Structure 1
């Protein structure tokens, strides 16, 4: 194993135990028997090391999904459920590390991390769309953005419950439940109207950013009512034909002070 991989493995272990901010470069270097100076021959900073860890995680997950052993006898819906189960198990396999990601992600306006999170979000969304089309066919295309958001929303809420509340759930049962729920929705599409009709060029919808922020505010904020009111006001202002830039700037500046949604606010400001 090369030294970069050793450093990533050591960092995952230390970040999981102590958190990102509480772990020093010196501790990571010491864990693999190199000096602090030698660490910087491999990574520019602790943040760039975290970027590499997240990139490795995503690459391994997507590669695993691409090469997942699927029995020929499985139906498209069962195949969809099996892929969901693999994805969930990949995250839960590093439960402690992802607790750190949820609670201690070092955004702080870090452009490298913000760009990576945007890239990961886009790649994940594209893969989920492909999974949905493979499972339920081209007739769902007008609703693909909505269905992707539903899948990702259900996944996220269950992961929050499993990871942060330490609940024990059957991943196979959960993945089958999600697949059956999506199938039930697809059977009613003829009588439904798509909600998302516009997606950003980066592969994610502005609405999904708002949904993420709302969830995080409810989970983590001590000032829930005021933040949710500001978020709703921002959403309404962005829908106006001539949105007031001064109000949008004031609201995004206020919301960005909440650490847990800082990266989503930054994405919104950069890509609206």
Structure 2
């Protein structure tokens, strides 16, 4: 019952924040829309800032979850990588427009100074960068790894710029056509990079790329922890025998424990990574984990999960 109430409050808050904006939507408005006393809202959320932060997290998680569901067509058949990319770009464009309050730059809102929200916002930014990176690698293959952050940067810039024109109602093009246009531009970009092989501007050791990770150690540790928890969920849902899932789960736990050590063993991490990498469903998470941990041996840069 209590969990159901909390869900109702959160869903109602998302709707009100989406339609009225952060400043105009009050806790009293949310309480009335829920058919509850305002005191009932405060039992679950200590402040408007806490409620908005929860709504912000839920909105972005919904986007990532729904985007992940676009991997197949209506018949359940897996789509070609480029079509997956186009569909996910189209979906993100439409979702961002429909939920623009949760996708904007928050510098002008009072919540921008809330420490809890700032930490959540940093994790969201890192998750979106990782999501874009994974989209591009899935579409173009690991051959673009040397240029991945340059492509991510250009992709992000194209997406943000055209989205701004859509929001300003300068562009009347259907999102499907805009997404196809963006994919065509990415095709040309990737083809040129692979043909000319220029020296990458951004790489894993570049300070600008490090900014793509959560910028403080605590947020980075939390990202590693949540990534490992996600891997455990993936393992539990694998269509494999119980004993196989149990063994994979133990290996993920061992990997998490090793990542959490102050002086982690890079050789052991590589061995555990290689074992799990045999499972295709875990490869995107492992690629993200490698990125977060940095190159083996760079223990001073390795975030602890403790």
TM-score, structure 1 length as denominator? 0.66
CA contact (8 A) 2:144 2:190 kept: yes
- Give, in whole Å, the separation in 2 of the partners of 1:100 and 1:121: 12
- Give, in whole Å, the separation in 2 of the partners of 1:112 and 1:173: 38
Q: Which moved more, 1:14-23 or 1:83-92?
A: 14-23
- Give, in whole Å, the separation in 1 of the partners of 2:8 and 2:163: 28
CA contact (8 A) 1:143 1:194 kept: yes
Q: Which has the higher contact order (CA 8 A, sep 6+)?
A: 1
CA contact (8 A) 2:106 2:112 kept: no
Q: Map 1:205-216 to 2 at 5 A.
A: none
Q: Which moved more, 1:21-30 or 1:161-170?
A: 161-170
The correspondence for 2:45, drawn from 43, 48, 72, is: 43
CA contact (8 A) 1:20 1:104 kept: no
The correspondence for 2:90, drawn from 60, 85, 90, is: 85
Q: CA deviation at 1:166?
A: 7.0
Q: Secondary structure at the match of 1:139?
A: helix
- Give, in whole Å, the separation in 2 of the partners of 1:19 and 1:104: 12
Residue 179 of structure 1 corresponds to 183
CA contact (8 A) 1:80 1:179 kept: yes
Change (3 A) 1:19 1:3: same
CA contact (8 A) 2:96 2:103 kept: no
Q: Does 1:168 align with 2:178?
A: no
Q: CA deviation at 1:123?
A: 0.7
Q: CA deviation at 1:93?
A: 3.1
CA contact (8 A) 1:15 1:100 kept: no
Q: CA deviation at 1:9?
A: 2.9
Q: Does 1:15 align with 2:17?
A: yes
Q: CA deviation at 1:136?
A: 0.7
Change (3 A) 1:133 1:8: same
Q: CA deviation at 1:132?
A: 0.6
Q: Does 1:126 align with 2:136?
A: no
Residue 57 of structure 1 corresponds to 59
- Give, in whole Å, the separation in 1 of the partners of 2:172 and 2:48: 32
Q: CA deviation at 1:182?
A: 0.9
CA contact (8 A) 2:71 2:78 kept: no
Q: CA deviation at 1:201?
A: 6.9
- Give, in whole Å, the separation in 2 of the partners of 1:83 and 1:64: 9
Unaligned runs of 5+ in 1: 206-272
Residue 219 of structure 1 corresponds to none
Residue 5 of structure 1 corresponds to 7
Change (3 A) 1:101 1:70: same
Q: Does 1:106 align with 2:116?
A: no
CA contact (8 A) 1:81 1:175 kept: yes
Residue 68 of structure 2 corresponds to 66
TM-score, structure 2 length as denominator? 0.60
- Give, in whole Å, the separation in 2 of the partners of 1:9 and 1:67: 21
